[in-house]
């Protein structure tokens, strides 16, 4: 919205700064941070008044959640703090185009089922939340609509069909069939939604890792939207995609504000309201700038958490079928609970996973030059 004021730089010279994505990105981050700090205490207080906290110990973690601090009544739905901050900051600072509109659409569309899931759990005391088919329906519908817009809009109709891989100088598939495109973008949106959801099991873990991933995606979006940088790095040039840097900056600011309240011992949890939508937002942005497989590296912690659950369940079922007794690869999955079971304090697990996330982020950035 504010980007339009740059047209009046002849009236007031400093308005020309709004031409620059970097300036608007800083503005978006600061705005989201302020909104988060302003809305956070009020929402947390309201959640407590309404008793929006899990009134039970999650059977998946047993007493782990209460080892050092009773989390049973810590309010959830904190993802609304992030959503409000990101949405309004992006609308204020980003220049509207097909990339930013689709990103905000996916973020909003996946916030709804996440909120409904949390609502059923904390208000109706339904441990299962929404039905699996309902969640899949929301994710599928949002993906189909988003892809339809990308294939229809002239700015994105051709660019979105390209498939790029790390370490390759040109597109591996210059013009994907829409069916393959739908399958891939669906896997990334749903996959990272569930991955961040699984990671969100310790205070500050998911949101801290999200900050590092958003930072890298923002840098890559800026590079993809700049023809000179894209040509130099031999990556895909996506006109207008630089505006996603503003979205990522807003996300970083919002997550920093949320981390203030989510750090151990947490005053609020993001819940499915936050985790499902954050994964979808990151997944679709990575896809739109042609870095989906790089996201697998950058979001290595999320991938590791998801794979630990897949391997744990798969190994248990396979050994039970073979021997009659199911065996486990880890003491508990997702893998952050494995280290808790080994006696690591919660803060140590979180900090070490943050270090891993930073390492994965740097590895992902390195792929930009290894071509």
Q: 176-196, pLDDT tens digit by residue?
A: 999 999 999 999 999 999 999
Instruction: Tell whether 15 is covered by a domain.
Output: no
**Predicted pLDDT of residue 68:** 41
Question: What angle (nearest 5°) sits at the alpha carbon of residue 121, between those of residues 117 and 125?
Answer: 150
> Distance between CA atoms of 130 and 26, rounded to whole angstroms?
37
Read off the pTM: 0.93
**Does residue 255 form part of some domain?**
yes
**Does 12 map to a domain?**
no
User: Within a domain: residue 121?
Assistant: yes
| 35 band by pLDDT with thresholds 50, 70 and 90 | very high
In 3D space, the residue among 349, 359, 315 whose CA is nearest the CA of residue 64 turns out to be: 349
CA distance 158 to 290: 12
- State the Cα–Cα distance between residues 150 and 157, nearest whole angstrom: 6
Closest of 117, 164, 143 to residue 294, by C-alpha: 164
Beta-carbon neighbour count of residue 190 at 10 Å?
Answer: 21
Q: Which residue has the higher pLDDT, 6 or 304?
A: 304
Sequence length of the chain is: 371
Are 120 and 130 spatial neighbours (Cβ–Cβ below 8 Å)? Answer: yes
At 324-365, the pLDDT tens digits run: 888 999 999 999 999 999 999 999 999 999 999 999 999 999
Query: How far from chain centre, in Å, is Cα 214?
Result: 8
Q: Which of 203, 367, 194 is nearest to 295 (CA)?
A: 367
Non-local CB neighbours of 41 within 8 Å, separated by 6+ positions:
261
Q: Give the tens place of pLDDT for each residue, 61-108.
A: 445 544 444 566 788 899 999 999 999 999 999 999 999 999 999 999
Query: How would residue 56 be classed by pLDDT, with cut points 50, 70 and 90?
Result: very low
Number of domains in the chain: 1
So what's the pLDDT on residue 64? 55
In a domain, 67, yes or no: yes
- Domain span at residue 335? 22-366
Q: Is residue 278 part of a domain?
A: yes
Instruction: Pick the closest to residue 284 from 105, 156, 154, 89 (CA basis).
Output: 105
What is residue 66's predicted lDDT score, i.e. its pLDDT? 45
């Amino acid at each position: 919205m504010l980007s339009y004021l740059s047209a009046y730089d002849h009236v007031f010279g400093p308005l020309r700064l709004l031409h620059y994505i970097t300036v608007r990105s800083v503005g978006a981050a600061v705005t989201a941070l302020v909104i988060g700090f302003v809305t956070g205490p009020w929402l947390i207080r309201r959640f407590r008044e309404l008793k929006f906290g899990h009134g039970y110990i999650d059977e998946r973690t047993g007493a782990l959640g209460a080892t050092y601090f009773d989390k049973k009544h810590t309010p959830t739905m904190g993802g609304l703090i992030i959503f409000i901050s990101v949405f309004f900051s992006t609308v204020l600072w980003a220049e509207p185009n097909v990339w930013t509109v689709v990103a905000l659409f996916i973020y909003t569309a996946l916030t709804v089922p996440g909120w409904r899931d949390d609502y059923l759990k904390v208000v109706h005391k339904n441990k299962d939340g929404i039905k699996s088919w309902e969640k899949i329906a929301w994710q599928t519908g949002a993906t189909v609509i988003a892809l339809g817009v990308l294939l229809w809009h002239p700015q994105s109709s051709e660019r979105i069909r390209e498939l790029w891989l790390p370490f390759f100088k040109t597109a591996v598939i210059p013009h994907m069939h829409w069916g393959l495109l739908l399958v891939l973008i669906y896997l990334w949106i749903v996959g990272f939604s569930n991955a961040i959801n699984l990671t969100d099991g310790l205070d500050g873990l998911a949101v801290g890792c999200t900050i590092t991933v958003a930072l890298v995606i923002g840098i890559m979006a800026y590079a993809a939207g700049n023809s000179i940088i894209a040509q130099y790095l031999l990556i895909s040039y996506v006109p207008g995609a630089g505006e996603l840097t503003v979205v990522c900056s807003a996300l970083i600011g919002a997550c920093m504000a949320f981390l203030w309240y989510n750090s151990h011992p947490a005053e609020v949890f993001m819940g499915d309201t936050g985790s499902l939508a954050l994964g979808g937002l990151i997944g679709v942005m990575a896809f739109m700038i042609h870095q989906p497989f790089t996201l697998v590296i950058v979001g290595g912690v999320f991938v590791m958490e998801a794979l630990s659950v897949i391997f744990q369940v798969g190994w248990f079922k396979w050994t039970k079928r073979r021997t009659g007794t199911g065996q486990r690869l880890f003491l508990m999955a997702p893998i952050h609970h494995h280290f808790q079971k080994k006696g690591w304090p919660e803060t140590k697990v979180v900090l070490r996973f943050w270090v891993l996330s930073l390492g994965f982020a740097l590895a992902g950035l390195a792929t930009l030059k290894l071509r």
